[in-house]
Amino acid sequence: MKQLMDVAIIGGGPAGLSAALVLGRARKSVIVIDEERPRNRVTQESHGFLTRDGIKPSEFRQIAREQISVYPSVHFENDSAVAVTGADGEFMITTAKGSTFGAKKLLFAVGMKDLPLDIEGLTDVYGKSAFVCPYCDGWEMRDRKLVIISKGDHALHFAKIIAGWTSQYTICTDGPDEMTAEQREELQQHDVPIFDSKIQRIEAANGSVQQVVLEDGSIISCEGIFFVPKLAIGSDLPQAMGCAMTEAGAVVVDEFGKTNVPGIYSAGDAASQKYQVVAAASMGSMAAVSINSELLGEAWSERG
Ligand SMILES: Cc1cc2nc3c(=O)[nH]c(=O)nc-3n(C[C@H](O)[C@H](O)[C@H](O)COP(=O)(O)OP(=O)(O)OC[C@H]3O[C@@H](n4cnc5c(N)ncnc54)[C@H](O)[C@@H]3O)c2cc1C
């Protein structure tokens, strides 16, 4: 095992990188272990982060790493953490390449991952003309003809939200229908067409959606899609270490990113349902401040 670091950060997306920056500036020794599979890698541009609107996700990470490299106590490992043992004060992380790292505190910034998309053709357009978040990509799809793939309560919610960007949209529930009669009536009152048949495939040209073909033979021409993805946490390690999890599969944390397990923190998509780069970076920063306070408090007590 290499030296005992102050903090091991597992995951080097906006949450983990933001934490690394704060901890580097606080003169803490940090190892960031990142396997470089961020959730937004499919997208061409990331929006809504002040001063970085429209940036490529890979460029965002590259700039972050460059800026963090000024702080010599932060080290990066392009690797996957596969096992964690130990407890507060001395955690041990093993990676896929066979390295081991020891750290006093642990931050899980492992993000969320999309489960395989089960509609034919959706993977080809994901991040190009099919999106999940109107705040991220709604502007680019403004006034376009869109298909919203969503069911039940969420379909009505999505319909209300997307109306802020375009008035030309259709709901596809991809069957079986889970909407109540009242929800259906509300959508009809707002002239939102609803199709209940299962989707057979999505047809596209060069990443641009052209039409959605349903199993009942209907064809809906459109220029873009918003859909609700199925997600899972980026790594099983938080659960394996005993971290309490929400029903949605995120790590339960307090406002400073602290989990129920002493010495273990979590931040970003892995510990919230905000799913925004700026929110993930903010959580990473707050967790780093909290970890640093805990380390300084412990050092103070040891000296006293
Ligand atoms: C298509 C799409 C478009 C989006 N567009 C926008 C946008 O325009 N604006 C916006 O604000 N948000 C956008 N988002 C949301 C944004 O991507 C996330 O909110 C943000 O990336 C979360 O940051 P994070 O650091 O929590 O996780 P991530 O960015 O997902 O990073 C987690 C990192 O942890 C690594 N990791 C996981 N497990 C391990 C392990 N065991 N060992 C080592 N490394 C590990 C992963 O490989 C990854 O690199 C978009 C998302 C998608 C899917």
Q: What is the pLDDT of residues 271-298, one digit of tens each?
A: 999 999 999 999 999 999 999 999 999 9
Q: Which residue has the higher pLDDT, 200 or 2?
A: 200
DSSP helix/strand/coil, 295: helix
Q: Quick one: 108 and 153 in the same domain?
A: no
Distance from residue 39's CA to the centre of ligand 1 (Å): 4
Can you tell me the mean pLDDT for 99-112?
98
The dihedral over CA atoms of 157, 158, 159, 165, expressed in degrees to the nearest 10, equals 130
Cα angle 206, 207, 213; round to 5: 105
> How confident is the model over 140-171, as pLDDT tens digits?
999 999 999 999 999 999 999 999 999 999 99
Q: How confident is the model at residue 177 (pLDDT cuts 50, 70, 90)?
A: confident
pLDDT at 264: 98
Helix (H) or strand (E) run with residue 200 in it: strand 199-205
User: Residues with Cβ within 6 A of ligand 1?
Assistant: 10-16, 33-40, 42-43, 46-49, 80-81, 109-111, 127, 131-133, 136, 234-235, 237, 268-270, 275-278, 280
Which residue do the tokens 């969320």 mark? 112
pLDDT at 178: 81
Q: Quick one: 153 and 206 in the same domain?
A: yes
**27 burial type by CB count under 10 A (0-12 exposed, 13-18 middle, 19+ buried):** exposed
How many angstroms separate the CA atoms of 20 and 23, rounded? 5
Question: Is the pLDDT score of 99 beyond 60?
Answer: yes
Domain boundary among 199, 227, 255: 227
Number of structural domains in the chain: 2
Containing structural domain, residue 222: 122-227
DSSP helix/strand/coil, 235: coil
For ligand 1, atom 45, name the residue with the nearest CA: 11
Domain of 196, CATH number, reads 3.50.50.60
Q: Quick one: 80 and 156 in the same domain?
A: no
pLDDT > 70: what percent of the chain? 99
Ligand 1 test: best mutation among 136, 165, 237, most atoms within 8 Å of CB?
136
For ligand 1, atom 13, name the residue with the nearest CA: 276
Question: Is the pLDDT score of 1 beyond 80?
Answer: no
Q: How confident is the model at residue 304 (pLDDT cuts 50, 70, 90)?
A: confident
Cα angle 50, 52, 57; round to 5: 130
How many angstroms separate the CA atoms of 245 and 266, rounded? 11
For ligand 1, atom 44, name the residue with the nearest CA: 34
Radius of gyration of the chain (CA): 22
pLDDT at 3: 81
> How confident is the model over 17-65, as pLDDT tens digits?
999 999 999 999 999 999 999 999 999 999 999 999 999 999 999 999 9
Q: How many CB atoms lie within 10 A of CB 141?
A: 21
Distances (CA, A) of 114 to 38, 42, 126, 292, 295: 10, 11, 11, 32, 35
Q: Quick one: 218 and 234 in the same domain?
A: no
Distance from residue 174's CA to the centre of ligand 1 (Å): 27
Question: Is the pLDDT score of 231 beyond 60?
Answer: yes
Q: Which atom of ligand 1 is nearest to the CA of 268?
A: 26
The mean pLDDT of the chain is: 96
How many angstroms separate the CA atoms of 146 and 170, rounded? 7
Question: Is the pLDDT score of 2 beyond 80?
Answer: no
Q: Quick one: 14 and 108 in the same domain?
A: yes
